[in-house]
């Protein structure tokens, strides 16, 4: 199929030609970009399908640099608490599900946030009351805490004598486990949950891919494991993988990947092996982020280092030796410093194969550490919507240190390369919501006035770049995608409004009209 898009406002993200009117697509590649007349001159002959853009804005397809896509897909079928702002509301949804479930059947859910309840962590007894005959496992919105009931603890064989696993914590009081599991303690329950069938998972992925295409997403960097990789391969074989997947490698799979001789970048334009995903610490919302100084109001709590310095050094060093890049989750300022120091040591020894190491989230930084990203060639893979979602918590637990949280402007001005994503299902999948957060540092209601630490805002072009060409650079694919230029893959999005010419608050009112993936229109908004 040959396709001509003309009469548009095309923002190419290509420095050699930042703006254009028309694009010619031949097969799955971009043939020409430029003025209407120049592109028409190259798109001669028959068989061209023309689309009059009528002045609409076009940009490269969005790429989400940090997502748990299978988890999001399966979550479309489980209990979702992200819009529930009370403990009673969560418990009522669990009670309703228990009524419809057989005795002993697991009840799972995601997205609760105890900060909305103006109270502390919930307890197992709350769930025991509404679901006495069902094991219940509910993951907090950040994925770093799990709230379970007594029956789930029993199934997982967790009692007052169970030791905390390395990198995790079973919260306890004088009566024993409270029902809150932190960090790697979640695995004690996760490993006994009944698995979903491949048919269920792949069906959920098909639905989720459709939702991603509606939002203009043409690529994702997926932070999951072997199950997700197998499912993406199955969809690819069936011709149904409608997003480009850059698949990260979980820590537990490193030895297998090394034995096979696989390296970062192995694959094709649809499915490619990516970075090794590691965890340095926990999260802000769970107060498990590893801190240089304690959380406010918790003088004994500096968070949880999921991996020690020695463990991280060893794993990152071994991966680097076999040309596997590393993407390390780091939230707290201590965790970020630790990871930066490790990457500095690697740089001194020599980074193999031009690897582009990353820090995922980089939420709180000590100002002395900001220049180190550029100095050691570390990409900051961040999620702008975290800032507007978490700003109240950041002020509460980090105080004045929050000035250097979600520090996009400081990082960019220091020369750091930014790549943006959503961390879905922790946050909303919509890249336009992330772009809005990056340029306003405000929530949808316009608060706080002027933006939260507005000196860290980005320009619209910078934010879009991080969702397109910056994201492509983070996976080593900037020559193939991320901008609209001749020879590149034909992944584009057409918007209902020109977000470069409207007030930033109206970005949230913008919709995707068309998503073009691999040269095909895979989504068209019904008018």
Same domain assignment for residues 164 and 89: yes
CATH number at residue 132: 3.10.310.70
Which letter does DSSP use for residue 483 in this model?
S
- Whether residue 222 lies inside any domain: the answer is no
d(CA 78, CA 193): 13
| Whether 144 and 186 share a structural domain | yes
Give the mean pLDDT of the chain: 95
- 92 and 177 co-located in one domain: yes
What φ, ψ does residue 308 adopt, rounded to 5°? Answer: -70, 170
What residues does 416 pair with on adjacent strands?
none
- Inter-residue contact 271 to 242 (CB < 8 Å): no
| Model confidence pLDDT, tens digit, residues 311-350 | 999 999 999 999 999 999 999 999 999 999 999 998 888 7
Angle (CA) 101-106-110 rounded to 5° is 105
User: How far is residue 379's CA from residue 471's CA, in Å, rounded to a whole number?
Assistant: 10
Query: Is 9 in the same domain as 107?
Result: no
| 180 within 8 A of 169, measured Cβ to Cβ | no
221 belongs to a structural domain? no
Residue 30 resides in a domain: yes
Show the domain range for 152. 78-190
CA 363 to chain centre: 13
What are the pLDDT tens digits along the chain (527 aa)? 799 999 999 999 999 999 999 999 999 999 999 999 999 999 877 789 999 999 999 999 999 999 999 999 998 878 989 889 899 999 999 999 999 889 999 999 988 988 888 678 899 999 999 999 999 999 998 888 999 999 999 999 999 999 999 989 999 999 999 999 999 999 999 999 988 899 999 999 999 999 999 999 999 999 999 999 999 999 999 999 999 999 999 999 999 999 999 999 999 999 999 999 999 999 998 899 999 999 999 999 999 999 999 999 999 999 999 999 999 999 999 999 999 999 999 888 877 668 999 999 999 999 999 999 999 999 999 999 999 999 999 999 999 999 999 999 999 999 999 999 999 998 999 999 999 999 999 999 999 999 999 999 999 999 999 999 999 999 999 999 999 999 999 999 999 999 999 999 999 999 999 999 999 999 999 87
CA triple 410-415-421, angle to 5 deg: 70
Cα(196)–Cα(189) distance, rounded to whole angstroms? Answer: 15
pTM above 0.85, yes or no: yes
Residue 112 lies in a domain: yes
Q: Between vectors from CA 516 to CA 515 and to CA 521, what angle results, nearest 5°? A: 90
Kindly state whether residues 82 and 183 are assigned to the same domain. yes
Query: Does residue 220 lie within any of the structural domains?
Result: no
Q: Residue 512 domain-assigned?
A: yes
| One domain for residues 96 and 184 | yes
CA separation for the pair 527, 402 (Å, rounded): 44
Q: Domain boundary at 163, 190, 217, which? A: 190
Q: Which of 147, 166, 190 is the last residue of a domain?
A: 190
Looking at the structure, do residues 42 and 119 belong to the same domain, yes or no? no
Q: Does residue 164 fall inside a structural domain?
A: yes
Domain at 499, CATH number? 2.30.40.10
Same domain membership, residue 85 and residue 50: no
Residue 519 lies in a domain: yes
If asked whether residues 96 and 185 sit together in one domain, one would say yes
- Give the three-state DSSP class for 229: helix
pLDDT in tens, 455-486: 999 999 999 999 999 999 999 999 999 999 99
Q: Where are the alpha helices (DSSP H) in 382-421?
A: 384-398, 408-413
Q: How many domains, the chain?
A: 2
Which of these three, 190, 205, 228, is where a domain ends? 190
Q: What distance in Å separates the CA atoms of residue 219 and residue 517, rounded to the nearest whole number?
A: 9
157 with 115, same domain: the answer is yes
Element of type H or E holding 514: strand 512-517
Cα angle at 504 between 461 and 80, to 5 degrees? 100
* Same domain, residue pair 163 and 98: yes
What is the rounded distance in angstroms from the CA atom of residue 511 to the CA atom of residue 522? 15
Tell me: do 181 and 129 sit in the same domain.
yes
Contact indicator for 116, 86 with CB cutoff of 8 Å = yes
């Amino acid at each position: 199929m040959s396709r001509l898009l003309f009469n548009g406002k095309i923002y190419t993200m290509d420095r050699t030609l930042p703006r254009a009117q028309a694009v010619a697509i031949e097969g799955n590649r971009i043939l020409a970009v430029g003025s209407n007349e120049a592109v028409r001159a190259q798109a001669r002959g028959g068989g061209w399908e023309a689309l009059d853009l009528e002045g609409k804005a076009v940009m490269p397809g969005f790429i989400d640099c940090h997502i748990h896509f299978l988890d999001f897909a399966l979550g479309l079928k489980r209990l979702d608490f992200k819009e529930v702002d009370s403990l009673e509301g969560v418990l009522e949804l669990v009670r309703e599900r228990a009524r419809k479930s057989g005795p002993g059947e697991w009840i799972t859910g995601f997205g609760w946030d105890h900060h909305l309840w103006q109270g502390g962590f919930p307890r197992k007894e709350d769930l025991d009351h509404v679901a006495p005959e069902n094991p219940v496992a509910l993951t907090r919105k950040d994925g770093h805490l799990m709230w379970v009931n007594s029956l789930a603890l029993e199934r997982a064989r967790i009692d007052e004598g169970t030791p905390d696993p390395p990198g995790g914590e079973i919260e306890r009081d004088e009566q024993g486990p409270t029902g809150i599991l932190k960090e790697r303690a979640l695995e004690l329950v996760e490993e006994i949950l009944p698995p979903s069938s491949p048919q269920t998972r792949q069906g959920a992925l098909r639905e989720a891919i459709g939702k991603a295409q509606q939002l203009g997403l043409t690529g994702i960097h997926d932070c999951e494991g072997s199950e997700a990789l197998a499912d993406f391969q199955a969809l690819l074989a069936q011709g149904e993988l409608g997003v480009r997947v850059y698949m990260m490698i979980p820590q537990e799979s490193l030895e297998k990947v090394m034995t096979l001789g696989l390296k970062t970048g192995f694959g094709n334009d649809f499915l490619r092996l990516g970075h090794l995903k590691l965890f340095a610490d926990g999260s802000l919302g769970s107060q498990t982020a590893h801190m240089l100084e304690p959380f406010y109001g918790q003088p004994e709590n500096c968070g949880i280092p999921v991996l020690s310095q020695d463990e991280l050094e060893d794993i990152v060093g071994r991966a680097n030796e076999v040309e596997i890049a590393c993407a390390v989750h780091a939230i707290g300022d201590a965790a970020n410093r630790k990871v930066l120091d490790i990457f500095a040591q690697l740089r001194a020894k020599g980074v193999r194969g031009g690897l582009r190491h990353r820090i995922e989230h980089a939420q709180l930084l000590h100002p002395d550490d900001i220049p180190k990203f550029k100095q050691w060639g570390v990409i900051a893979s961040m999620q702008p919507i975290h800032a507007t979602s978490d700003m109240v918590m950041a002020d509460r637990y980090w105080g004045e240190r929050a000035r250097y949280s979600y520090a996009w402007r400081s990082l960019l001005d220091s020369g750091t390369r930014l790549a943006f994503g959503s961390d879905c299902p922790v946050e909303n999948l919509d890249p336009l919501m992330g772009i809005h957060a990056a340029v306003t540092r405000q929530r949808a209601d316009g608060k706080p006035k002027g933006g939260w630490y507005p000196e860290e805002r980005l320009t619209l072009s910078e934010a879009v770049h991080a969702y397109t060409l910056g994201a492509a650079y983070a996976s080593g694919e900037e020559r193939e995608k991320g901008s609209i230029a001749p020879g590149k893959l034909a992944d584009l999005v057409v918007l209902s409004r020109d977000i470069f010419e409207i007030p930033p608050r109206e970005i949230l009112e913008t919709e995707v009209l068309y998503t073009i993936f691999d040269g095909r229109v895979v989504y068209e908004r019904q008018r």
